[in-house]
Amino acid sequence: MSQVDDCVDIINQTIASFRPEVGLILGSGLGQFCDNINTIASLDFDSLPGFPVAGVGGHAGRLLFGKVEDTNVVVMQGRAHYYENGRADIMAVAIQTLSAIGCKSLVLTNAAGSLVKEASPGSVMLITDHINMTGVSPLFGAESNKRFVDMSDAYNPELNNNMRSSAKMNDITLHEGVYAWFSGPQFETPAEIKAVKTLGADAVGMSTVPEVILARHQGLPLCALSVITNYAAGMSATKLSHEQTIAFASKAADTVEKVLISYLKSL
């Protein structure tokens, strides 16, 4: 049996007939969204073979099952990053498991640095496309022609519209833009930021893109939100730090929470 089969068995033993429709992955400092879940069960990542052992501050490393209003959800509270072990497929088993247990779509969230003045720290951006600056793929080594994944409309236009409406309903300004994925763990240099701005990026971060590629490989539609925690390197006098990321993500958590709840209601 594969690790995914094992995870599916463990999950099904835990949740019985409960069927999640939407999978959510919560980035740094956004764990408070889980207070809105009418939780029926939870599993630590370390009880699921192949799930990442979450190591970054602000990440809990737990899978929660439950309801938000009438929508059945499974939430990954915490994720793993390429920079943790240099393997871009660190989230592969997790994403394949979410698909195998019946999720029909995913919502990904992250903390990101902004490259545009209007999207200030504390604001939220809908990711409409990405640029992979790492040169790696979580599908290295994947077999069959299924690996040649179409990445146009990777961020699902219909789900994006639901997210736009949900922000509007709550009078929340939802910025939109292109997310550039850097490997980290070091923050970018000002020169790197200038370079990706020229290439068309609006935000930068160290996560999400591998999950997007893995989800599209599974045929899962998705949408993604960035919480802007800082202006990118060279754009302000403030020094970049993980502490700042967590602090600003927590500040924006209320905003993200409102948008996500309306979004889940709208499905």
Contact residues for ligand HPA, defined by CB under 6 A: 111-113, 182, 187-188, 204-206, 229-230, 232, 240, 245
206 is catalytic: yes
Provide, rounded to whole angstroms, the least separation between the CB of residue 188 and ligand HPA: 6
Q: Which of 21, 41, 60, 83 is catalytic?
A: 83
The least CB distance from residue 68 to ligand HPA, in Å, is: 26
Q: 240 vs 247, which CB is nearer to ligand HPA? A: 240
Q: Measured between alpha carbons, how far is residue 159 from residues 13, 75, 150, 155 in Å?
A: 31, 18, 18, 8
- Does 28 participate in catalysis according to the annotation? yes
Ramachandran class of 243: left when φ > 0, alpha when ψ lies in -120 to 50, beta otherwise: alpha
84 noted as active-site residue: yes
> Which among 30, 21, 157 is positioned nearest to 98, based on CA atoms?
21
Candidate list 242, 247, 257, 266, residue with the active-site label:
242
For residues 61 and 205, which CB has a smaller minimum distance to ligand HPA in the complex?
205
Q: Looking at 72, 99, 166, 207, which residue is catalytic? A: 207
Please confirm, yes or no, whether 242 is among the known catalytic residues: yes
Contact criterion met (CB below 8 Å) for 69 and 17: no
| Nearer to ligand HPA (CB atom), residue 41 or residue 247 | 247
- Give CA torsion, residues 96, 182, 173, 171, to 10 deg: 30
Longest CA–CA span in the chain (Å) reads 53
Nearer to ligand HPA by Cβ, of 36 and 245: the residue is 245
Catalytic annotation present for 59: yes
- Cβ atoms within 10 Å of 120's Cβ, excluding its own: 14
Please say which residue, 251 or 265, places its beta carbon nearer to ligand HPA: 251
Nearer to ligand HPA, 97 or 211 (CB): 211
SS3 for 195?
A: helix
By C-alpha distance, which of 236, 225, 199 is closest to 111? 225
Minimum distance, C-beta of residue 254 to ligand HPA, in the bound complex (Å): 18
Taking the complex as a whole, the smallest distance from the CB of residue 70 to ligand HPA amounts, in Å, to 33
Q: Rounded to an integer, what distance in angstroms lies between the CA atom of residue 191 and that of residue 19?
A: 47
Which of 81, 130, 175, 217 is flagged as catalytic?
81
Which of 36, 99, 110, 230 is flagged as catalytic?
Answer: 230
CB of 85 to ligand HPA, least distance (A): 18
The catalytic residue among 28, 105, 123, 250 is 28
In whole angstroms, how close is the CB of 52 to ligand HPA at the nearest point?
Answer: 18
- Catalytic residue check, 111: yes
Q: Which residues are catalytic?
A: 28, 59, 81, 83-84, 111, 206-207, 230, 242
